[in-house]
Structure 1
Amino acid sequence: MRLRSLAVVAGALAVLVGTPVVAHAAPGQGDNLARSATATASYTSPWESVAAVNDGIDPGSSNDTVNRRWGTWPNTGEQWVLLTWGSAQTLRSADVYFFDDNGGVRVPASWRLQYWTGSAYADVAGASGYPVAANRYNAVNFNQVSTGRLRVVLQSGAASVGLLEVRAYASAIGTTDPGNPSGWNPPANLVQPLSEVWTHEETTYNDLYGFRNYAWDQIFANHGSINYCVRWDSGASVSAALRDRIQATLQRQFKKWIDVMAGHNGWPYQQVPVKVVGWAVRDRAQLQWTDSSVDVYVNNIRENAPQCGEPCGRFFNQSGNYPNCPGGASHHYDMSLWLTSGFGGGAGGDWGQRIGSEYYVGALDADNVHILLHEMGHSFGLDDFYDWTPTGQCCFLMNAGSATQITDFDAWMLRDWWRHLKNRWGY
């Protein structure tokens, strides 16, 4: 069992000469939907044009001096380009070609895609990564959205930012880099620290490749789902409404990790449903419902806390067979959500996650229940960083206390696990 705790250079005016090259679609794609959108921007240098970003002209390079460009010199910080359609579009992928003149406009430090929900802009879910490279398209797949607006948000580095072309599609891009069909395309600044993390994993954990009960294994054993049992290690009562909210929060937080993987590098599941199949308590009277929607385990004490039935637990039956589980395999649980009164911090591993019951109940409506998210990371095999820090990184969820949500570095660490282990399941 693994237990883990918690430039000051003026932009040049582009001279429009020569014959434009029509922008081809990404490999395997159909029409480029961006062509029918209207482009606007947070700011445009007077000599540049935001209409450049969807004019359908393929750049010759990031320092294209033939065709029009969009740039923000001398403005820096967060800048954006917005594509607006007259009706909702189904979108699944996009790619961008950065403007970089080696002077006042350079590739961004980072970027992301947002869509209009109807009331606000939200980051697309399941982004396969946001590469930052010059002289080529930088592609990203994401969970399908239906929206009338797509926004490319750029965060500048030492200079201003700009774009030469944006393309958007209704289907996933088959590969984010034609020269790298594996789909492994982390941002350049993360390559070294990711390598350091994986080397650390390999040298620290002797069971890294042989261990067969990570959350990955559980998902595949269930053909794309996860079952939980709640260990209610508290004297408080639980209403049916609270029971259902506890499950809904668990589902929402687990989905945040799955959204990181959706559409990435052959990962087969867009969704991984999470179901609570059981509750364990000391006293049945604490549970204020009489329906049979979940199995109830009463006064089965292990580790001085209520335990869900061992015959139904994957931790105790890693063959995937549950011959002695009263309800059969459909009633088995893969992990426990162990909610302990007065417990500070958290713990996590292949067996599940343990956090304070008061903390969890108080965070039911929170967007990020960060201690739970951290401990879920351990269930997927992600490490703690108490005694070392990967090069160039400081603040990320698995470095406890330094972030309260899944960061880009956390996401790429998870994807690296899949890259190294996916052949276990034939991918």
Structure 2
Amino acid sequence: MRRLIAAFTAVLAAIGIFLIAAQPAAAADVNLALTATASASYTSPWENVAAINDGIDPPNSNDTQNRRWGTWPNTGEQWALLTWAQAQTLTSAQIYFFDDGGGVRVPASWRLQRWTGSAYADIPGSYPTSVNAYNTVTFSAAVNTTRLRVLIQSGSASVGLLEVKAIGQGTQQPGTWNPPANLVTPLNEVWQHQESTYPNLYGFRNYGWDQIMANRGSINYCVRWDSGATVTASQRDQIHATLARQFKKWMDVMAGHNNWPYADVPLKVVGWAVRDRAQLQWSDTSVDIYVNDIRENAPQCAQACGRFFNQSGNYPNCPGGISHHYDMSLWLTAGMGGGAGGDWGQRLGSEYYMSNLNTNNMHILLHEIGHSFGLDDFYDWTPTGQCCFLMKAGSASSITDFDAWMFRDWWRHLKSRYGY
């Protein structure tokens, strides 16, 4: 399966990587919120409570680029909760409020509560309500608990949070890289080959990794329907579900590995591009529809909404704003054999895709998604000891252990750019 090498490499630039010898773990003040599960009294349908402990510092209280937790239109008493599987010892907390100057404002008052095992108890302290900054509460005595609750009383508007840090003593791990012994040599060969083949490897800022981190743990797609066939609402929903299921197979590789911050990466299809609106046999407004905007001799989703065209992460001319942006396209082309993949998305035959909607592993799509995250092709060489794996086209039909560790190796080398 041949990807569009020119399209992919044209946007690569050099990053440079430094391998630092692992240091012994040491006790230190760390943000224990990163290991907690977040929940809330209420979350607006377009917001995400997982935003409060994803470890990304907001640029300001009206952060429009990253996901947020908000309660609009609900007011009154609201709460956000961090829950750990085991008790944590906390010494302070830092809260960054969401305030858009309109429907969501800083609260009238708030406080922190710990779970005693049978009830929530207030934690004494001073509770400021500053915007564009973390509000720090230092505990007079260390708190040992499995739950930390931010209890918020709204004023005239709804309330929200961008980030919660729960500070306590913990073991700061430098990161875990522990591939099976038999894969160490071939993995090193792969990485060295990529560095020598793509001299601009490291400056590129639009890998799938960059897209997920910019969205704080989610991904948006638009479908380019490059076919004369009609599509029913039921078929549309199956196309979406299949894409999400196949994408999840790569995300499952990362869950719980080497400080990867997301247990799940939701995928949403936000738009369709088509030559003739009559081909799309539905009338609901669940996705944006772009008609007869032709690029590369195929229907194109609005460039103003595409990350490929707006890599700053701002979408000032996208109808509907950032929530309607798409990170990648699923480009389904009638009569196409094989596939192509890059930071722009994946392209494969529409007939192949439609005939494999219920297939467990749609291997061409999986292969091309791998390219979107930086994984290379293996047309002219094979790493030591490896014969058959997904990224060596035609030799495997699902993600193998070697594919998984190559994928994780990309995160190992890129994660420092995201603060991990």
Partner of 1:211: 204
Equivalence map 1:101-250=2 (5 Å): 182-250=175-243
Which one has the largest radius of gyration?
1
In the other structure, the counterpart of 1:345 is 338
Partners of 1:286 and 1:364 lie apart in 2 by 19
Q: Tell me the percent identity.
A: 79
Task: Determine the C-alpha separation between the residues in 2 that align with 1:181 and 1:418.
Answer: 14
Partner of 2:282: 289
2:295 to 299, 302, 325: 302
Q: Does 1:395 align with 2:388?
A: yes
Q: Distance in 2 between matches of 1:418 and 1:345?
A: 27
Alignment match, 2:4: 3
Counterpart residue identity of residue 4, structure 2: L
Q: 1:346 & 1:4 partners in 2: Cα distance?
A: 12
Q: Output the CA distance in 2 between the equivalents of 1:318 and 1:307.
A: 17
Q: Take 2:314 and 2:185, find their aligned partners in 1: how far apart are those partners?
A: 41
Backbone CA RMSD of aligned residues: 2.1
Q: Which residue of 2 aligns with 1:260?
A: 253
State how far apart, in whole Å, the 1-side matches of 2:175 and 2:213 are: 20
Give the partner amino acid of 2:304.
P
- Give runs of aligned pairs for residues 360-375 of structure 1, distance below 5 A: 360-375=353-368
Q: Find the residue that maps to 1:399 and give its secondary structure.
A: coil
CA displacement at 1:364 relative to structure 2? 0.3
4+ residue segments displaced more than 2 Å: 2-6
Distance apart, 1:407 and its partner CA: 0.1
What residue is the counterpart of 2:312 in the other structure? Answer: 319
Q: What amino acid is aligned across from residue 205 of structure 2 in structure 1? A: R
CA contact (8 A) 1:4 1:378 kept: no
1:270 and 1:209 mapped to 2: Cα distance?
A: 26
Task: Give the letter aligned to residue 401 of structure 2.
Answer: D
Report what 1:33 is aligned to.
Answer: none
Secondary structure of 1:249's partner? helix
Provide the rounded CA distance (Å) in 2 between the counterparts of 1:367 and 1:207: 35
Q: Which residue of 2 aligns with 1:99?
A: none
Q: Determine helix, strand or coil for the equivalent of 1:242.
A: helix
Aligned pair 1:277/2:266, yes or no?
no
Matched to 2:297, the amino acid is N
Distance apart, 1:4 and its partner CA: 4.3
Gaps in structure 1 of 5+ consecutive residues: 7-91, 93-173
What CA distance in whole angstroms lies between the structure 2 residues aligned with 1:298 and 1:182?
47
- TM-superposed CA distance for 1:204, in Å, is 1.0
- Structure 2 distance, partners of 1:369, 1:325, is 32
Query: What is the DSSP-based 3-state SS (H/G/I as helix, E as strand, rest coil) of the residue aligned with 1:247?
Result: helix
Rounded to whole Å, the distance in 2 between the matches of 1:344 and 1:317 is 30
Residue 327 of structure 1 and its aligned partner are, at CA, apart by 1.1
CA-CA distance at 1:181 after TM superposition: 5.6
Amino acid at match of 1:242: Q
Check whether the contact 1:353–1:375 (CA below 8 A) recurs between aligned residues.
Answer: yes
Displacement of 1:260 in angstroms is: 0.2
C-alpha distance in 1 between matches for 2:387 and 2:401: 12
CA distance in 1, matches of 2:310, 2:278: 29
Counterpart of 1:235 in 2: which secondary structure? coil
Instruction: Say whether the 8 Å CA contact 1:4–1:384 is kept in structure 2.
Output: no
Q: CA deviation at 1:278?
A: 0.2
Q: Post-superposition shift, 1:3?
A: 2.6
* SS class of match (2:336): coil
Give 3-state SS (helix, strand or coil) of 1:228's partner: strand
Taking structure 1 as the reference length, the TM-score comes to 0.59
Deviations 1:15-59 (A, max 9, x none): xxxxxxxxxxxxxxxxxxxxxxxxxxxxxxxxxxxxxxxxxxxxx
Shift of the 367–4 alpha-carbon distance from structure 1 to 2, 3 Å rule, reads farther
Question: Which stretches in structure 2 are left out of the alignment for 5+ residues?
Answer: 9-84, 86-169
Deviation at 1:318, TM superposition (A): 0.2
Structure 1 counterpart of 2:91: none
Q: CA deviation at 1:207?
A: 2.0
Structure 1 equivalent of residue 415 of structure 2: 422
Which residue identity is paired with 1:309? Answer: A
1:301 positional shift: 0.3
How many residues align structurally? 258
